[in-house]
Structure 1
Amino acid sequence: MDASKIAEIVRETLRNQKLLEEESEAASSPSTSVSSPVSSGAKSGRAAVLVEPRRLEIREFPLRAIGPDEILVKVEACGVCGTDVHCYKSDPFGLAPNVLGHEGTGEVIEIGADVAMDSVGKPVKVGDKIVTSLLEVSPDCLIAKYNPAKSNLSDDLKVYGLLPDEPNNHFNGYFAEYLIIRPGSSFFVVNDMSVDLRCLIEPAAVVCHALERAKSCGGNRLNFRSRIVVQGCGPIGLLMIAVLRTHGVNNIIALDGNPNRLEMARSLGADETINYKEYAGVDEIAEKVKSLTKGLGAHWGFQVTGVPVAHANLYKMIRRGGGICEVGHFVDGGECAINPHRDICSKEITLVGSWVYNSFEYPNAYHFLQRAERIGLPVSSIITHKFPLDQIDEAFQVNLRQEGVKVVVEA
């Protein structure tokens, strides 16, 4: 090897060493604790503010700089949940003025210096698609402290879209162009899912949690041969049918009064459908259920309507030794009358409630949706309407008129 070749190798080695030193200095130098919104090119954004019951206003707010443990997300879309509709109608939680929307997803456009991974340890970077789950509950909450698996029952439970407005942060819900993920939040990178499926992860977590609640009762009532009634074929009811079918249940009866929803229920795994409007009353409906279940009634029922009388009716469709999971009442819809002797005691009915979900159930929901599509269940077809943010009022009206199934607002 001649001298010129040796000199070239030495120069290349020195250049590489210098680059390594520069990278090392950059990594070890103090990071700025706050990143500027200028880096994303956005200085303000619009949000749909629930000003008072039945009144939404599109307002523009300045985008503040995010902190070292926050993330700025460009919202892509968000489903309209039944809870959003209840808030729209009557503001039952007293949150107005605030920005609703919790079934959302978007793209990361800024990351605080201290954020490196999502809630399951997956690296997160600008450009990633994410969904959010629950915010961390207060360390003073005794329920979460002594039973972390029940943190969903904390009085301190917080979800984006169900948070009060803040003077320095108006982007607390997904019915906006931006969302700021705050410290203590659980969030997940979901790059390999379509935007439609990402909008369904939150409601899918609801039904995954309900399934686990029913399974927690033991016995053999949820298996391949189980005969299950799902009462109510709105978005949650339809996803409940899909998760049961994906779980291996082969005998599912869907009960609703909307023919289009019952048809969709069949496509998502229901074997039989019952339109309650075609029957004189609950006794006739119960006899129809018994005729489909060897004369005994269903092993298990999932009540997903949010209508109190529907809860009372479901007992009549369940066999002795069966069970019911109440999923539908996320707000106080009133009371209903049951007969403790006939409905519960003499049948030894097992009754469980299902409330929201836990953050760790999000990955379960994610895999459920992927598996459902893989076996041919068209879960994305639940989304029937899409509206831009400017038309969010019409999105809510379509939902109130029950003209579609899942309505989505795109930012």
Structure 2
Amino acid sequence: MPSKEMGTVAYLVEPGRIEFREYPVPDPEPGEVVTTVERANVCGSELHIWRGNHPEVKEGSLGHEALCRIDALGDGVETDYAGEPVEEGDLIAPVYYLTCRKCSACLNGQFHLCENVYEYWSRSPEEPPHFHGTFGTHYVIHQDQYFFKIPDGLDPGIAAGANCALSQVMFGLDETGVEYGDSVVVQGGGGLGLNAIAYANEQGAETILIEGVDGRIERGREFGVDHVVDFREYDTVDARAERVHDLTDGVGADVGVEVAGVPEAFAEGISLLRDGGRYLEMGNVTPGAMADFDPGLLTRKSVDITAVVRYDPWYLHRALVFLDEQTDAYPYEDLIDAEFDLMDVNDALQQSDSREITRATLLPR
């Protein structure tokens, strides 16, 4: 009897320490999909976990933003979650968390807040079926995990970024209600910020980027941002707020988007908005990181704050459609600016953390 194929997983033993473990690639259980990982991107969430800043995940399998190829379908799996037929060899993108559809959040229609999202994601690889994270050669999609087929003709390197970064900002901006003619100020020009610029552009908004890293400013301009506020030039909160007001006929932006991941950015954001503006908080995900804040200013300006974590799972399908339709409009092919072998995951994390690169991708094979 031939021996089972072996696969490799990057396992975060503790913050800052990664080990590689090998396990036999399993056969799928009913409702599961066993895949080969084609590429897995380094997202800000991996950096939070790797540093030890995630509030719940301190160890386990790493990786969640990925493109996978179907190796085997479990009994009962004939289509993706958009009803598209699937078969072995198809390229798919999995939603990185499961949705139980039975907890109180799911029963309220808030699938992105499912109480069981961490029941599968980032488990220890010692637990079968071992391949719980996408930083590995294989990945097993759980019975309660959405996944979607990649549109024919969409560049796989572009498609991998739909899961998490683009899906997240599409969901957040929709929740905030960005409309044609709005002015949108984006704090931070990383992957989330660039996707926010692109999606806001397509909604007919005028976009403003606040950033201070040359490469990110250049990339923001490539993604069609209308204005840049360089915080090296405008080096105080008051100076940046005044500049944003100057760019918006003296009233302030209609919408603010915090994707810098810096607590002080949230405190600053309120000053960038017009009275009655809307503010989307997505970047600060680590509880306990504090900033001074003026609640009276928030009240006097009557700003509406929307905070979101994750996204409703069908947004991944919307993100893939968006990428398929907008491939020629934005340089998504350049958004991944560094490729690493899976075994060089530490280098990928370190260079991403130091902002030497905008977004890294791991190539397991």
TM-score range with shorter-chain normalisation?
over 0.9
Q: CA shift at 1:95, angstroms?
A: 4.1
Quick check: 1:353 aligned with 2:315? no
Within-5 A mapping of 1:29-48: 43-48=5-10
Q: Report the equivalent of 1:126.
A: 88
Q: Report the equivalent of 1:175.
A: 135
Q: Report the equivalent of 1:231.
A: 187
Higher mean Cα deviation, 159-168 or 57-66? Answer: 159-168
Q: Which has the larger radius of gyration?
A: 1
Q: Report the equivalent of 1:19.
A: none
Please list the CA deviations of residues 101-142 of structure 1 after superposition, one character each: whole Å capped at 9, or x if unmatched: 100111111112321111111111011001111544345511
Q: Report the equivalent of 2:244.
A: 289
Within-5 A mapping of 1:19-168: 43-90=5-52, 92-93=54-55, 95=57, 97-138=59-100, 140-145=102-107, 147-148=108-109, 150-158=110-118, 161-168=121-128
Q: Report the equivalent of 1:208.
A: 170
What is the letter of the counterpart of residue 352 of structure 1? Answer: T
Indicate how the Cα distance of structure 1 residues 84 and 123 shifts in structure 2: closer, same or farther if over 3 A, else same.
same
Q: Report the equivalent of 1:244.
A: 200
| Residue from 256, 261, 268 that aligns with 2:211 | 256
CA contact (8 A) 2:245 2:251 kept: yes
CA contact (8 A) 1:321 1:349 kept: yes
What is the letter of the counterpart of residue 83 of structure 1? Answer: S
Please list the CA deviations of residues 310-355 of structure 1 after superposition, one character each: whole Å capped at 9, or x if unmatched: 110111111112111111122226122222222x222111111122
Please list the CA deviations of residues 144-175 of structure 1 after superposition, one character each: whole Å capped at 9, or x if unmatched: 11x12x12123322486533434322100110
Q: Using the alignment, how far apart are the partners of 2:295 and 2:59 within structure 1? A: 42
Q: Report the equivalent of 1:378.
A: 331
Give the % identical residues. Answer: 28
> What are structure 2's unaligned runs of at least 5 residues?
none
Return the TM-score normalized by structure 1. Answer: 0.83
- Give the structure with the higher percent helix: 1
Please list the CA deviations of residues 374-399 of structure 1 after superposition, one character each: whole Å capped at 9, or x if unmatched: 4x211232111110101111111111
Indicate how the Cα distance of structure 1 residues 365 and 310 shifts in structure 2: closer, same or farther if over 3 A, else same.
same
CA contact (8 A) 1:308 1:333 kept: no
Q: Using the alignment, how far apart are the partners of 2:56 and 2:318 within structure 1? A: 32
Q: Using the alignment, how far apart are the partners of 2:144 and 2:344 within structure 1? A: 32
| Residue from 358, 362, 366 that aligns with 2:316 | 362
Q: Report the equivalent of 1:13.
A: none
Indicate how the Cα distance of structure 1 residues 190 and 289 shifts in structure 2: closer, same or farther if over 3 A, else same.
same
- Structure 1 segments (4+ residues) deviating >6 Å: none
Q: CA shift at 1:367, angstroms?
A: 1.7
> What are structure 1's unaligned runs of at least 5 residues?
1-35, 216-221
Higher-RCO chain (CA-CA 8 Å, sequence separation at least 6): 2
Residues paired across the two proteins, number: 362
Quick check: 1:310 aligned with 2:265? yes
Q: Using the alignment, how far apart are the partners of 2:275 and 2:53 within structure 1? A: 40
Q: Using the alignment, how far apart are the partners of 1:158 and 1:52 within structure 2? A: 17
Q: CA shift at 1:93, angstroms?
A: 4.6
What is the letter of the counterpart of residue 181 of structure 1? Answer: I
Q: Tell me how large the CA RMSD over aligned residues is.
A: 2.0
Indicate how the Cα distance of structure 1 residues 140 and 377 shifts in structure 2: closer, same or farther if over 3 A, else same.
closer
Return the TM-score normalized by structure 2. Answer: 0.94
Q: Report the equivalent of 1:23.
A: none
